Chains A and B, each alone.
Chain A
């Protein structure tokens, strides 16, 4: 496979916000003292009158965004995933989710890939938390093009959206952006024997796993779930019918995230074996992102092994 160029989705987020700000004066951005790392500083520099730094006060960040949305603005409220989904959970739930206000939560530094900062800053529960809020759309783009498209799609949607972006550079998967629609998974690689349903930084790794499997005579389909909620049930049901086994892959606890969403959907539509690759219900630790992915089993080899196990389960069934 040709060497892919690399870019962190938080950079894509910052660029997309700045571009959107030039087109739409209703777009405003709030941050909580992390405008450098979240990349909202780019917007702040260009549109200082539409930028609010709430300081290290995430509860107020979410409430303030809710109030601004109630007045017709389109606020993007940014901080690390840990503080957006974790610390400010009840503010997101009651001030944004329940009144279904038009707030976009731009959460960066999601998952183990945060790396050296360690477990306190590695949010592996945000999909679960946000998914449980009625009416919340939950998005985790896999690369630059998806991240930029997700920002635009979120701004165009009337309602709350949680967007998770990553700290570390990830491979650029799309030279030309395919049709991007919230709630519609992307078919990145056809396959017959098993389907890998991945999200965020695990999508590139899933593609590597499919290449590994091809060398072992296994045809693996790869689906890119940039939207975790609403989950694309049609694409899942088709994959279940045509490949008969699913492996999910995510930088998130295997409890409550994409793996759970896939199981919930397929249990009702077309039950097939589903194996979940992700953080196996434990906290993270300090280390380089790639080292952590190795230590926690978020690698192409782990996904490939899970695919072989899923195919064995399918045959036994």
Chain B
């Protein structure tokens, strides 16, 4: 990837991180850790992969994205706002009564949200249904779903994984956000989902891996996924929960806790400084 392009993606992802931080701080509620771990992936998807038009969010031919780990809604809302699906001012109302931006994504309220999600394990089935619908209607859109690694403990994920491979859904790409942490601690201490790649391979998927915070790596993975024929593809991306804010990184405690005003100021300063450094 050319340096200028990479820098632009990094700047975009920084904005998403700052937006997500602001959302959670303004709301005094929300999930920041798992939002920060997917910001680079969302930046790459919306800038480089997804064929979506903010002016036509219900276009039947559009690519779909299902945020199966719906608690990372602050990051999704950030990217949708930055892309122009709705005004950025809406981000200030995240989780407030009467607002569009519910705690977890609501497809009937938010332009650009393709599936209501948040109850873990369910988004991947919906994505499979969308991919099946694409095959039935001979429409060439692609479907993407982002799952958490803890979410792999839900049996429904494997029901869906079995069906997706059985039906050869090569229009489906699942991204497993392997940040290694869930509410009760490290995923391999709570109930290990490992080996993740071997499991999907055994289910009949094409499997690839990526560094979730390296755009060259993401580009290679998404290019690979686009070329896979006859089976669904999973990208297992190694990520850092809380990525971009040093004191939040790799801490399960930052799963669903909003920052205090002091922590918010420190986090914002760090993200802003990072942005300035990239500009230099």
Contacts and interface: CB of A to CB of B under 8 A. Distances in A.
B133 A95 contact: no
Interface stretch (A57-65, A163-171, A249-257): A57-65
A235 interface: no
Contact of B108 (A50, A72, A73, A100): A100
Given A55-B163, A99-B107, A99-B108, A67 B133 contact: yes
Given A70-B107, A70-B130, A100-B108, A54 B136 contact: no
A81 B134 CA distance: 29
A63 B156 contact: yes
Size bracket, chain B contacts: 35 or more
Contacts of B160: 57, 60, 63-64
B129 A50 contact: no
A60 B129 CA distance: 9
Contacts, number: 112
B39 interface: no
Interface in B42-73: 60, 66
B179 to A, nearest CB: 24
Interface in A36-72: 49-50, 52, 54-55, 57, 59-60, 62-72
Nearest to A103: B129
B52 to A, nearest CB: 15
A90 interface: yes
Contacts of B108: 99-100
A63 B136 contact: no
SS class of chain B's interface: helix, strand, loop or mixed? helix
B116 interface: yes
Interface stretch (B25-33, B117-125, B226-234): B117-125
B118 A67 contact: no
A101 B92 CA distance: 28
B261 interface: no
Given A57-B163, A60-B160, A95-B116, A70 B155 contact: no
Contacts of A66: 115, 122, 125-126, 129
A59 B125 contact: yes
A199 interface: no
Interface in A89-107: 90-91, 94-95, 98-100
Interface in B115-161: 115-116, 118-119, 121-134, 136-137, 139, 155-156, 159-160
A73 B137 CA distance: 9
A28 interface: yes
Contact of A64 (B121, B132, B139): B132
Contacts of B127: 67
A49 B136 CA distance: 7
Given A54-B159, A99-B106, A94 B116 contact: yes
Interface string A94-126: 110011100000000000000000000000000
Contacts of A67: 66, 115, 125-133
A63 B162 contact: no
Given A66-B126, A67-B115, A59 B156 contact: yes
Contacts of B167: 52
B119 A65 contact: no
A60 B66 CA distance: 15
Contacts of A63: 122-126, 128-129, 156, 160
A68 B122 contact: no
B114 interface: yes
Given A59-B159, A95-B125, A70 B119 contact: no
A52 B131 CA distance: 12
Contacts of A49: 136
A60 to B, nearest CB: 4
A73 B159 CA distance: 22
Interface string B158-183: 01101100110000000000000000
Which of A54, A67, A72 gathers the greatest number of chain B CB atoms within 10 Å? A67
Given A57-B163, A60-B160, A60-B163, A70 B136 contact: no
Nearest to A75: B129
Contacts of B136: 28, 49-50, 68, 73
B129 A57 contact: no
B57 to A, nearest CB: 12
B119 A90 contact: yes
Closest 4 CB pairs of A and B: A67-B129, A63-B125, A60-B159, A57-B159
Interface of A: 28, 49-50, 52, 54-55, 57, 59-60, 62-73, 75, 90-91, 94-95, 98-100
